[in-house]
Structure 1
């Protein structure tokens, strides 16, 4: 396809688009001329119905509140601004909440998961060592359990 043919086909497509836009504009104008001033009807949206909620029955009219009248808006606004500017004094201040955290709190938080994994692996390793000793018959069961307990206590002491 040569450049002339490409340009010709592009021009044709542009003319088709212009025609489609003209048709859509005409349809939109026809809808507007029919008395539909809002665009809501073009999309088949329901129009809101404004209703008066004042009772029409005389017995009900007696029991309703009187119509509201606007109050002194400036005074209300001044009162609210004054209350916003007023400083709140804290009578009791809990100093423990204001104490800074230890400098290594974030490191402890980040390392906690890794330490949990290591604790689990350590417990598994201890259990495997006990099983191996039992299989070899080097020590009796009570002695092996005692050694394992001592090892875990030593690990706890070393961690502190």
Structure 2
């Protein structure tokens, strides 16, 4: 019984695919017919060319006869006068002018953690000094030995 159901499914699938192919062929034929025969819908609008020549030739003659009115010259002179006066800037923030280093955001994010570590380091150093003092070591001798080691050139 299962084979009959499968055969029916296959038969219907092939029929559906054939119908789909027919519809696609019809759509292609319609598209080809529309391309070959220009319709009003397929026509492109005609471009409108505009002339920038004045319609009245007298207008250009009038403008040339009058010449510049002097307003432009006055405006240019006022701008030149403004440039001659020194422009004094009272405050310049150098931090805003200088570019930031590429790792500035990393340093900003790590700063809080470094503060904690610095405090812990100072506490640890203080504890070490207290322990040495409890052992009755002379602090001046320890400091002198440390300074001598630092001053010694390394090979």
Q: What is the TM-score normalised by the length of structure 2?
A: 0.30
Q: Which has the higher contact order (CA 8 A, sep 6+)?
A: 1
TM (norm. structure 1) is 0.29
